[in-house]
Structure 1
């Protein structure tokens, strides 16, 4: 059908749609080729009858010639927005139908001409919907008129069914009813107009010519030499890619092109994994911090009840501990400024001895008296030595052995002068 395109090394499927597709019945012409292999060609009634491997191939679709008007325009602007607004008015004499229902694809040429392809939006949507529903990897849509091989300084034409496809340039051409004995009237009129504009071709190259066609008769009617090519137009073409793509403009954003999205799939999967990993890490960290918070709250509650046994209900152990300490300091007078430093130093030592429990405390005469309980093997002298190592003076007031434990009272102070004996 057509020469293989550069499709990144993958298989290629060229598909020619019949008139009225997908609603009318007609033959689908196809050519499937894998790089380095022989081409396979055939016909199909439906997309589901395409050859095996079509779903993995890049699909180049050739649309019915009569459904797209190929023309030219010149506009005094280079602004894309202004061109899009002005094209419907500049071509209104050549168009049938509401411009709002038409899709205008255009390309700027080197001489500032605009090559324009006009197709019904409804028709484009019907084509793309049917092809995407068939899970084909749609690469391009191009009028089949431009599949005819273009010879330098010549026009080319090909018989396809009951139509004659005429290609006048890289992005221009038209279609007319096929005729064997005499050239179509539309072709004669187009050549006469080109002759008046001094743009007449040097010859007309014919592909797929019927057996009864007489080149001399056509030549006398057209006024230009006619050359009949034996190879099919599919074998003679040298263009690796369709010259235009009706998906390249407005429809490109609305057509699901899986091939175009494929490079982003890896990044999307990586992003998804990162998001899931972050959520899992955050959830794990939240659970760890929640456990630490619960443990700290339980420890503060235990200390609060050990130090202030009269507290029955604990709502916020940290706040209640602070309030009770402030109340205790207030009851002892503003001058007793040694209480908090004594308690802070004693707390550090007691935390290092987790088996020692505090049953109560009392502050008087700048001395802190602790009521403690520790296991029998532990030595009271070792605890006193640890307290004095922290910078405190420790005095054992009483030691009462019990079953497996020892209850004792320790007086702590910081002054070198022993405080007066308080009530014990």
Structure 2
């Protein structure tokens, strides 16, 4: 898998940079120049920050459940730097001796580099610090040195930049780190020294006398030659999942299948709706034709079912015969239906044009349901309110129609 590693000096304007490309054949191709000249198409892109631009420090944080929030980490860094917490991006690296190890960097400068790289089509997948790209062994520190200054890694999650030194005198920052380690009985057995060039190699014996620790010369190593997968990231953002081309092709095919199924289903629903509408129109036309053939004197047909009921009731009344919608007939059926429901107390009853309204006093939900079932069994169309009142409170109204 190809890897593009970009060295990002946060203090500089994001216009040009140094980089190295690890291709699929394990080839290493270094380069430098404008951002627009960066190699395109790398499967993984890493951003490497200078040791002097990332503060790695310990902080004692209050105990919390789950992951530490970004706000808590930012305020912890504020106590160490006395700066605006919003100005820093703070990431938790790990835990050492009960303390949290934090990496602090400039949020605005890092975002400006991300934006500049994104503008030329380079998406950053991970951010590292050159300090934590040095190899480290148990009981030993690692120091990268260019002849004047450098950076040191003192543990899995710890390290930092050093100040100036020379061939005879090691940097003061390294001496102070060793004094702090002696106070905690954690002095390393040796320091692996990675000199940038043969000319940058110091006087090992003079350094050993000043530091009181053995110096082991190690091969040259920097961010360009570090292993392809450094262990410790310093960004707390989630990795963005980027599917492979084959996965995208499979999902594209599935998407087309789902889209075709959705179109077919929508078309079937539309055809079915049109068919039902056509059948409803045909049934209405048949009812109108039958109504006009039975009652040719009707002027207009608005509701053939209701108008047919009214004409039949009128014909029955003309022949001195009762109709199912008459008051006496409906009342008799109601009385018969509620004869075995003695607890139903009738509060009021009204009748108008084939519609009877019953008001029951404080029936309760169970009794309302029982009365409804009895009236439906008696052949009535019953309209019941959505929620009947609780027993002992108010009344409930039932509207009856004879079919």
Bin of the TM-score, shorter chain as denominator length: 0.5 to 0.7
Instruction: Identify if the C-alpha distance between structure 1 residues 218 and 26 changes in structure 2 by more than 3 Å, giving closer, same or farther.
Output: farther
Select the structure of larger CA radius of gyration.
1
- Find the counterpart in structure 2 of residue 246 from structure 1: 235
- Distance in 1 (CA, whole Å) between partners of 2:219 and 2:210 is 22
- Find the counterpart in structure 1 of residue 196 from structure 2: 209
- Find the counterpart in structure 2 of residue 227 from structure 1: 216
- Distance in 2 (CA, whole Å) between partners of 1:314 and 1:102 is 79
- Find the counterpart in structure 2 of residue 30 from structure 1: 20
Instruction: Identify if the C-alpha distance between structure 1 residues 289 and 59 changes in structure 2 by more than 3 Å, giving closer, same or farther.
Output: farther
Which consecutive unaligned segments of at least 5 residues does structure 2 have?
325-403
- Distance in 1 (CA, whole Å) between partners of 2:320 and 2:284 is 30
Matched-pair contact (CA < 8 Å) for 2:148–2:166:
no
1:16 aligns with 2:7: yes
Of residues 124, 135, 142, the one that matches 1:138 is: 124
Spell out the pairing of 1:130-169 with structure 2 (5 A cutoff).
130-159=116-145, 164-169=150-155
- Distance in 1 (CA, whole Å) between partners of 2:202 and 2:147 is 19
SS in 2 for 1:45: strand
Matched-pair contact (CA < 8 Å) for 1:209–1:228:
no
- Find the counterpart in structure 2 of residue 187 from structure 1: 174
Return the offset for 1:70.
0.8
Q: Residues 131-150 of structure 1, C-alpha deviation per residue, up to 9 Å, x if partnerless?
A: 44444443322222211222
- Find the counterpart in structure 2 of residue 51 from structure 1: 39
- Distance in 1 (CA, whole Å) between partners of 2:55 and 2:19 is 22
- Distance in 2 (CA, whole Å) between partners of 1:43 and 1:244 is 23
| TM-score, length of structure 1 as denominator length | 0.61
- Find the counterpart in structure 2 of residue 198 from structure 1: 185
Return the offset for 1:90.
5.2
- Find the counterpart in structure 2 of residue 103 from structure 1: 89
Instruction: Identify if the C-alpha distance between structure 1 residues 258 and 219 changes in structure 2 by more than 3 Å, giving closer, same or farther.
Output: same
- Distance in 2 (CA, whole Å) between partners of 1:162 and 1:41 is 27
- Distance in 2 (CA, whole Å) between partners of 1:271 and 1:74 is 55
Which consecutive unaligned segments of at least 5 residues does structure 1 have?
1-9, 338-424
Return the offset for 1:233.
4.2
SS in 2 for 1:138: coil
Of residues 46, 50, 53, the one that matches 1:64 is: 50
Instruction: Identify if the C-alpha distance between structure 1 residues 235 and 19 changes in structure 2 by more than 3 Å, giving closer, same or farther.
Output: closer
- Find the counterpart in structure 1 of residue 28 from structure 2: 40
Return the offset for 1:174.
0.7
Matched-pair contact (CA < 8 Å) for 1:75–1:83:
no
- Distance in 1 (CA, whole Å) between partners of 2:171 and 2:264 is 69
Instruction: Identify if the C-alpha distance between structure 1 residues 247 and 132 changes in structure 2 by more than 3 Å, giving closer, same or farther.
Output: farther
- Distance in 1 (CA, whole Å) between partners of 2:147 and 2:319 is 113
| TM-score, length of structure 2 as denominator length | 0.64
Over the aligned positions, Cα root-mean-square deviation in angstroms equals 3.9
SS in 2 for 1:27: strand
